[in-house]
Amino acid sequence: MRRWLYVLLLGLTGCGGDDAAPEASTLSRAELMDPTTCKQCHEDHYREWSGSMHAYAAKDPVFIAMNRRGQEETKGELGDFCVRCHAPMAVAEGATTDGLNLDELPDALSGVTCYFCHDAKSVTDDHNNPIELAGGVTMRAAISDPVKSSAHRSGYSTLLDRNHTDSAKLCGSCHDIVLPSPPAPAAVHLERTYAEWQSTLFAKEPARGGLTCGGCHMPGRDGVAADAPGVFARKVHGHGFPGVDVALDPFPEAEAQKTAIQTLLDTTLRLQICVQQLPGTARVELLLENVSAGHRWPSGAAQDRRAWVELRAFEQGSVSYESGVVAEGAPVTELSDPDLWLLRDRTKKSDGTDAHMFWEVASYDSNTIPGPVTFDKSDPDYFITHVTRRYPQQGSITGSPDRVTARVRLRPVGLDVLDSLVKSGHLSASVADAIPTFDLLPNDGDVTLEWTPEKTKDPKLGFTKLIDGVLAECVTGAAAVSQK
């Protein structure tokens, strides 16, 4: 108790400005490893981080369930593969070798902590957490001229500066995963977010028009980096790290996380509906464009993501055709729909059957949308971000639709994946019930893009074009402009 009282008092008094003597009163490495120590001077950063998926990484019941099942089914061969990124300090400190004891460890070793990122010295490879830690008491960050602190030494690192492409290496080291083989049948490059970013036009220095991971997922704001004398306002980074995943049990900042995720999703895709009216029938073409994601969409654990299109055609108020209409609480993969447009990676075992858990994966087929490589419309590569689907894929819609709606929906993890973990006894059904369904809202805050003959005459959003020599009337939406 006395030790923790001492740490608290030292943390509170260690936020001093230039008059402090860093060499004389620096916090110990053990104290700096505890995120609550950081909270004393960096309250806003701590609050944001405390609700992030970095803080949740080792507490996530889906991760815990999948890791436990993986260890059982591979007879321990999985080792520290998962926990290397979900609790890297626990691995670095020798506190775990397989992640099966994370509930016994202190918060200083749980998740992706402040210390883990801010102690990073170098990144030696592109995936599976090849981060080298300095193991010291100098906290590295993006500020090149930090105010001296009696709490710890401070240093600048391009790895922590979102305005430098080196920062993408730090993020990419865990957001890019190659499976260990064995136990997996092959060394499959399963999660490729960093590699995907490297292939886009964003993979340039921000000063030359590029955009790093932090440019989207750590948005800047004016503020102070620490609550301490002599610290002045400047541009600081957000530490909420929104993506698409959310906490599935009570966790701090839950609503703030969902709001940040929704903001990102709303700036990602553009939808376009074209309708060909034929004698007594009609055909619909839907286009999705990845406008601003700096990687494919969806990305990350795309084998577990479930993004899909819901499209409906109406005639005189009655539904004449629909695809992708999924009941609340129903797995989209169980939908009997030959026209379903499902955006995901489909993984396979060595025998070609579907692989449901990553350690079974021998190969994959990707049905995700590439990120932008050019904004030059005269370059053919401009259109790789534009993907289309005909509805229905075979035949036509009977009648003459007078209204067509489309929306894109997303579940961070498929209910089929969660159901498998529930059935195997590794996950509580209540957790599976908590998974949200996001609707992308790019069209001025409306969930759906709506086509009507009248809207195709709109001078800004309506137009006509030929599809296979047949005139189509079209309407387009627009992804909101993201404030990066």
For the entire predicted model, the pTM comes to: 0.91
Containing 45, the helix (H) or strand (E) segment is: helix 43-50
Question: What does the pLDDT profile of the chain (484 residues) look like in tens digits?
Answer: 333 333 333 343 445 443 333 444 489 999 999 999 999 999 999 999 999 999 999 999 999 999 999 999 999 999 999 999 999 999 999 999 999 999 999 999 999 999 999 999 999 999 999 999 999 999 999 999 999 888 999 999 999 999 999 999 999 999 999 999 999 999 999 999 999 999 999 999 998 999 999 999 999 899 999 988 889 999 999 999 999 999 999 999 999 999 999 999 999 999 999 999 999 999 999 999 999 999 999 999 999 999 999 999 999 999 999 999 999 999 999 999 999 999 999 999 999 999 999 999 999 999 999 999 999 999 999 999 999 999 999 999 999 999 999 999 999 999 999 999 999 999 999 999 999 999 998 665 667 899 999 999 999 999 999 999 999 999 998 754 333 3
Three-class DSSP category at 212? coil
Output the CA–CA distances (angstroms, integers) from residue 380 to 126, 224, 269, 377, in the order listed. Answer: 29, 45, 19, 7
CA dist., res. 58 & res. 397, Å (int): 49
pLDDT of residue 230: 85
pLDDT of residue 443: 61
Cβ-contact 172, 193 below 8 angstroms: yes
pLDDT of residue 448: 82
Q: Which DSSP symbol is given to 199?
A: T
Burial status of residue 26 (CB atoms within 10 A of its CB: 0-12, 13-18, 19 or more) = buried
Residue 179 in tokens:
């499976």
Cβ-contact 429, 423 below 8 angstroms: no
Query: Angle between the 415-423 and 61-73 helix axes, to the nearest 10 degrees?
Result: 60
pLDDT of residue 336: 96
DSSP per position, 159-182: GG-TTSTHHHHHHHTTSSEE--TT
CA dist., res. 484 & res. 479, Å (int): 14
Please tell me the number of Cα atoms within 13 Å of 144 on its side-chain side: 5
pLDDT of residue 149: 87
Residue 119 in tokens:
């102690």
Q: Which amino acid is at 300?
A: G
Residue 194 in tokens:
């960093």
| Sign of the torsion angle spanned by Cα atoms 157, 162, 163, 168 | positive
